[in-house]
């Protein structure tokens, strides 16, 4: 690199007759992240978004029931997005746009009815929601390390490689309160919340927690 630009090179000669070749223009991968002199954010975001959408579509086209479909998205699809947390620089608009595309795919597959409350999609199933984790709702890098059981990631957490900016529990509690408030502010959907507020408990949502219904049936009932 000269003055921030890549120039031609014959590579680097190392001891014991080893040789590092010239880096291609598209960069090189280190732990799955494209780099050159710095992280190639634009290319990585396109690559991650494309793979994430592919996985969501593949899951939605499967025969999975409602509960297992959401679990699949939260683990298999979200895993590709969470991996880049704290490394690739995402804007809030890019994150929100990816979540919108996810909801569109869910609607086309019948999992999310067009009359359903969007906020409810991201609430836990034990509280009457569908339980989807949006890209915007994904845990911080510190939270990912804290919940991991892998020895190397636990060691990274112990050495404070990533500093916790705020309590993960406080953050999740705040986000949940914002969702419920948003739900209650809807003129039509608020009527349902008011009707069940004094009567519905966790047992009322057993059918949602079990997740045994077809995704189309589940989406229709929630819309009703």
Say if residue 45 is in the same domain as residue 132: yes
Residues 82 and 160 reside in one and the same domain: no
Quote helix, strand, coil % in the chain, to nearest 5. Answer: 55, 5, 40
**Domain membership flag for residue 108:** yes
Residue 75 included in any domain: yes
Per the structure, the complete domain to which residue 160 belongs is given by: 141-167
Number of domains in the chain: 2
Task: Compute the distance between CA of residue 181 and CA of residue 163 in angstroms, rounded to an integer.
Answer: 30
- Whether residues 60 and 102 share a domain: the answer is yes
**Domain membership flag for residue 97:** yes
The pLDDT value recorded for residue 58 is 96
**163 and 123 belong to one structural domain:** no
**Is 77 inside any structural domain?**
yes
Q: Are residues 45 and 103 located together in one domain of the fold?
A: yes
140-147 contact pairs (CB < 8 A, 24+): 140/85, 140/86, 140/164, 140/165, 140/168, 140/171, 141/85, 141/86, 141/87, 142/168, 143/168, 144/82, 144/85
Model pLDDT, residue 192: 77
Q: Tens digit of pLDDT for each residue in 73-112?
A: 998 998 888 777 767 888 888 888 999 999 999 999 988 9
Q: How do 28-30 and 18-20 pair as beta strands?
A: unpaired
Most confidently modeled range among 66-80, 111-125, 150-164 = 66-80
Question: In this predicted structure, what is the pLDDT of residue 46?
Answer: 87
Q: What are 22-69's pLDDT values in tens digits?
A: 776 677 776 777 776 667 778 888 888 999 999 999 999 999 999 999
Q: What is the pTM of this model?
A: 0.72
The answer to whether residues 65 and 149 belong to one domain is no
Check whether residue 129 and residue 146 sit in a common domain.
no
Give the single-character DSSP code of 2.
B
d(CA 69, CA 72): 5
127 and 146 belong to one structural domain: no
In a shared domain, residues 70 and 116: yes
Does residue 215 belong to any structural domain of this protein?
no
65 plus 130 within the same structural domain: yes
Q: Does residue 193 lie in a domain region?
A: no
d(CA 15, CA 162): 35
In a shared domain, residues 84 and 124: yes
3-state secondary structure 190-218: HHHHHHHCCCCCHHHHHHHHHCCCCHHHH
User: Does 36 reside within a domain?
Assistant: no
Q: Identify whether 203 is part of a domain.
A: no
58 and 129 co-located in one domain: yes
């Amino acid at each position: 690199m000269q003055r921030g630009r890549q120039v031609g090179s014959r590579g680097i000669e190392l001891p014991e007759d080893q040789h590092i070749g010239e880096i291609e223009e598209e960069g090189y991968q280190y732990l799955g992240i494209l780099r050159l002199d710095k992280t190639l954010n634009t290319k990585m975001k396109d690559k991650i978004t494309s793979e994430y959408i592919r996985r969501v579509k593949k899951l939605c086209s499967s025969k999975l029931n409602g509960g297992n479909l959401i679990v699949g998205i939260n683990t298999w699809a979200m895993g590709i997005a969470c991996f880049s947390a704290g490394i690739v620089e995402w804007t809030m608009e890019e994150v929100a746009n990816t979540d919108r595309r996810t909801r569109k795919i869910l609607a086309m597959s019948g999992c999310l009815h067009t009359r359903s409350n969007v906020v409810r999609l991201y609430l836990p199933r034990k509280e009457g929601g569908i339980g989807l984790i949006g890209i915007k709702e994904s845990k911080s890098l510190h939270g990912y390390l804290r919940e991991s059981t892998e020895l190397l990631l636990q060691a990274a957490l112990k050495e404070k490689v990533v500093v916790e900016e705020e309590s993960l529990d406080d953050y999740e509690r705040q986000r949940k309160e914002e969702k419920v408030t948003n739900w209650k502010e809807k003129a039509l959907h608020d009527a349902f919340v008011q009707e069940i507020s004094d009567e519905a408990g966790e047992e009322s949502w057993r059918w949602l927690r079990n997740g045994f219904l077809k995704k189309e049936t589940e989406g229709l009932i929630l819309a009703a």
